[in-house]
Structure 1
Amino acid sequence: MSALCLGLAGAIAATLAVPGSGFTLAWWHSVEKTRWEEHYLVRDDGLHLQYARVRGSGAGMEIPDDARFENGYWTYRPQLPALQPLRLTRSGYSADYELCIDGRCQPMSALLGPPEDAGSAALELWSCRQPGAMMAPNVSWNRAP
């Protein structure tokens, strides 16, 4: 089983076991209030984006020409190299990211605490080999929507 490291300010804040099926990173677009999801596989060389899906289009959310409408989402497969790390910005002014593993989701704030100072906080995700990596035991994981 692979491990996913989550880092804040250059330090490992959490290490999670991720099955071969990977994980989904989800969030709500701050303007359009539309759910966006990206599914990644964790490999030694980094995080591989398998597909992205979004419920609709809008400001900064152009749907690619090759996207297909499936189960209420526009789904497409971006062609990107492995990301190592994947850099995200969290803000106290918008909904937090959700991390979904094996069909169960948890807001990043449950894993890492809220973004600092209600402003923005940098977050990095990367593949790592960490002995004893485990699903966050003190966190209640919710079923994916």
Structure 2
Amino acid sequence: MAAALAQRGGGGLSLCLASAGVVKALSVAAFTLVWTHSIEKVEWQEDWRVTPRGLELTQARVKGSGAGMEPPPEARLVDGWFQWQPKPAAFPQVALGNSGTAGEWRLCAGGNCRTLSEILGHPVGANVTTMKACSP
């Protein structure tokens, strides 16, 4: 596991990723999820925190707008990105699907980004990957 993905999660928690029977725990307190929209080919980024209540989405950014990806009215254009802070909520689990038409989800922490396939050690393909807070 890359050193940049080995930062200790808050309160002894880790981020657990599960896909096609493989589970990996990453000791991160915060991370950015990055992907490319399958139709518009525009990059999205979301900042998440791992907390005892679950995964908390703290900020979202999109590099443009288009079909099914309009930023909310409160979004502000900053350095070419529409940025906004979603309403606070904790998610016990987040499911990531993959259409296979726009590349793979990438997880970034400590300045290092890796695809889910790299992290899980097998091609994720069209398999759903779930993310949740877990104990190491």
TM-score, with normalisation over the residues of structure 2? Answer: 0.85
Give the 3-state SS of the residue equivalent to 1:111 in structure 2.
helix
Match of 2:24 in 1: 14
In structure 2, stretches of 5+ residues that fail to align are 1-7
In structure 1, stretches of 5+ residues that fail to align are 131-145
1:25-44 matched pairs, under 5 angstroms:
25-44=33-52
1:94 Cα deviation from its structure 2 partner: 2.8
Match of 2:82 in 1: 74
1:80 Cα deviation from its structure 2 partner: 4.6
Match of 1:142 in 2: none
Identical amino acids, percent of aligned pairs: 38
| C-alpha separation in 1, matches of 2:64 and 2:102 | 18
| C-alpha separation in 1, matches of 2:52 and 2:88 | 16
Query: What do you get for the CA RMSD once the two structures are aligned?
Result: 1.4
1:90 Cα deviation from its structure 2 partner: 2.1
TM-score, with normalisation over the residues of structure 1? Answer: 0.80
| C-alpha separation in 1, matches of 2:76 and 2:111 | 22
Give, as a single letter, the amino acid of the residue that structure 2 aligns with 1:114: P
Match of 2:16 in 1: 5
Aligned residue pairs: how many? Answer: 124
